[in-house]
Structure 1
Amino acid sequence: MIESELDPPVAEMTVLTYANQAISEDYQNNNYNVNRGHLFPCRHAADVVTAESTFTLTNAVPQKKSFNELSWSRMEDETKNIMSTCKNNNNEVLAHVLTGAIPGDSKLKEKVNIPSYMWMAFCCYNSMEKKWVSQAYWAENIEEDSKNKTIDKKSLQEIQEFLGKAWVKNVQLFKKDCT
């Protein structure tokens, strides 16, 4: 076979590895029974484009499968329902949401930390009740054996105290009207 200048060169496949960044392969065939759990849930997105943008590894942490699919999922639905009452003058949902993970002692593929706890807090103005509302949740990232397990609602003060003891001192999640 004679190569011409018009023939494209044969490309070599290069696999890039990242020492400090998760890749999809980190989640495959793991012994921890975890999957990629959203930090910002796709169901909280205002439109399809935003929902699709949530499916990135930078928006994911390893969550125990049953935890992610059961109580954490129910909590995400509950918060979406509460926040749907928080609308601006254009009748659009307007809420401030913070979510995070407290590092644990285990790692996927010796690099991706598996959180010990997940937490979420939101604050928004409820135009129907004409007041600011807030709610917080946290739960241990562990296997669940009950389909009925729920995550208790907490106040912002309670989650700030929890985060202050568990991870970072003097936590203030929101300013001004959110209490």
Structure 2
Amino acid sequence: MSQRKMLQFTTGALFLLLPWFGQLVIGEISEDFSQCLHFFYNKTPPNGISAAGYQPICQRYKNQYHFASLYHRQHRTPLYSAYILSPAEGKRPKAIWKYEPQLAFSRASPEMKPFHIPVDQNVIESQAVLQDYSNSTFTRGHLNPSMHQKTKEDRQATFTLTNIVPQRAGSNSGPWNRLENEVLKNFKTFCNGLMYVITGAMPYKSGPHQINNRVSVPEYMWSAYCCPSYNASLPESVRPFFPTYAAVGRNDRNSGEEIVPVNVKENASVRGYDVRRMSLETLEGILAQRLAMPISLFHGQCQ
């Protein structure tokens, strides 16, 4: 697809994808993911997403890259985080929340840093900060979850607000958490090689919903994985889940049911935060409609 065609969006798409003003900065924050392409299948980031308004981030901590995120400065949330799944070792680390210095200062350190009090005004203007979540009814929802990362440093690196979206507690600790565990189980049981995962957020069709008039709230969460090398003798019930698998979860229990139906038998405390499992092609079709972009998450559909 030509660059010209990729930029021909509908008015609704432009409303969702408002560009930020200014130039892309240098360092780990750049115009592409060239420093961390290994987190994507075939070293190829999702195709079909305009660069307008989005900032690629190679998430760097303790002098290592741990995953990649596509961040929107104006929305102050990532569209997605991409990572290689590796089962966690040890207990969940203490949550020391971090920010991305280069979003605030182009010549700053390329490594994520813990928040300091008081928070620099340039940091506040460039990205989400802890105060945005402290007086809200939302949890800090990981796109790359700590449980999907192996080492202590890998897991600590997930606690950056550039990997976080406002997520309802009923989703975060309910059906979405069950999905994360299900993906982990599929990897351990049936995946023989690397599993590439991309998890993201889907905005409201009606326009931006925000917390603190700053941070965009997603109507849905979505996730997909690619496991190109898997057990040859998969049970019949598991074959639809390989080499790719996808899901969409509700982050608003009052949303319509055209994307994710509500399970009326679900426990009342999490009812309405349901997750719908689906094929990769179905997810890409939903994203294409909602974002008005012909998105391809895995190069060659993970074949």
C-alpha distance in 2 between matches for 1:41 and 1:99: 9
The Cα RMSD (Å) is: 2.3
Unaligned ranges ≥5, structure 2 = 1-116, 235-241, 254-266
Matched, 1:68 2:168: no
Taking a change above 3 Å as real, the CA distance of residues 82 and 26 of structure 1, as seen in their structure-2 partners, is same
Please state whether the residue corresponding to 1:153 is helix, strand or coil: strand
Q: Within 5 Å, which residues of 2 pair with 1:21-170?
A: 21-30=127-136, 33-84=137-188, 85-88=190-193, 94-104=194-204, 105-129=208-232, 133-143=243-253, 145-147=268-270, 150-170=274-294
Aligned to 2:104: none
Matching residue's letter, 1:46: K
User: Any conservation in 1 of the 2:171–2:270 contact (CA below 8 Å)?
Assistant: no
Matching residue's letter, 1:102: M
TM-score by length of 2: 0.49
Please state whether the residue corresponding to 1:121 is helix, strand or coil: strand
User: Any conservation in 1 of the 2:250–2:275 contact (CA below 8 Å)?
Assistant: no
C-alpha distance in 2 between matches for 1:15 and 1:118: 29
**Bigger radius of gyration among the two:** 1
Taking a change above 3 Å as real, the CA distance of residues 168 and 96 of structure 1, as seen in their structure-2 partners, is farther
Please state whether the residue corresponding to 2:300 is helix, strand or coil: coil
Deviation at 1:79, TM superposition (A): 0.7
Identity %: 31
Unaligned ranges ≥5, structure 1 = 1-12, 89-93
TM-score by length of 1: 0.80
C-alpha distance in 2 between matches for 1:45 and 1:75: 16
Matching residue's letter, 1:167: L
C-alpha distance in 1 between matches for 2:281 and 2:128: 33
Deviation at 1:177, TM superposition (A): 5.3
Deviation at 1:28, TM superposition (A): 0.6
User: Any conservation in 2 of the 1:107–1:114 contact (CA below 8 Å)?
Assistant: yes
Taking a change above 3 Å as real, the CA distance of residues 166 and 23 of structure 1, as seen in their structure-2 partners, is same
